[in-house]
């Protein structure tokens, strides 16, 4: 009787744990916001991450078309 109770309790606990884990949002797989500073293009004012920006003559550009 004691072993059966422990086995059932363990199955209920594992089932509850898996149920909660499946229902919770997955923060590791969701797209995480960029930690880079956002800057605006000097021409079209589009905001892009600073590491993707083109910098020339002290101005910031989003692409070669805006340079």
pLDDT at 28 over 60: no
Instruction: Write down the pTM of the prediction.
Output: 0.48
Residue 50: alpha-carbon gap to chain centroid: 19
Does residue 30 surpass a pLDDT of 80? no
Q: Is residue 67 part of a domain?
A: no
Is residue 66 one of the residues assigned to a domain? no
Specify if 55 maps to a domain.
Answer: yes
**How many distinct structural domains can be found in the chain?**
1
Percent of the chain at pLDDT above 90? 52
Residue 54 lies in a domain: yes
- Where are the extended beta strands (E) located within 1-67? 38-40, 47-49, 54-56, 59-61
Domain holding 28, by residue range, is 2-61
């Amino acid at each position: 009787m004691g072993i059966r109770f422990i086995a059932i309790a363990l199955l209920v606990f594992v089932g509850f744990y898996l149920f909660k884990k499946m229902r919770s949002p997955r923060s590791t797989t969701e797209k995480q916001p960029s930690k880079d500073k956002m800057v605006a293009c000097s021409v079209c004012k589009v905001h892009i991450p600073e590491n993707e920006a083109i910098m020339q003559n002290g101005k910031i550009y989003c692409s070669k078309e805006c340079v």
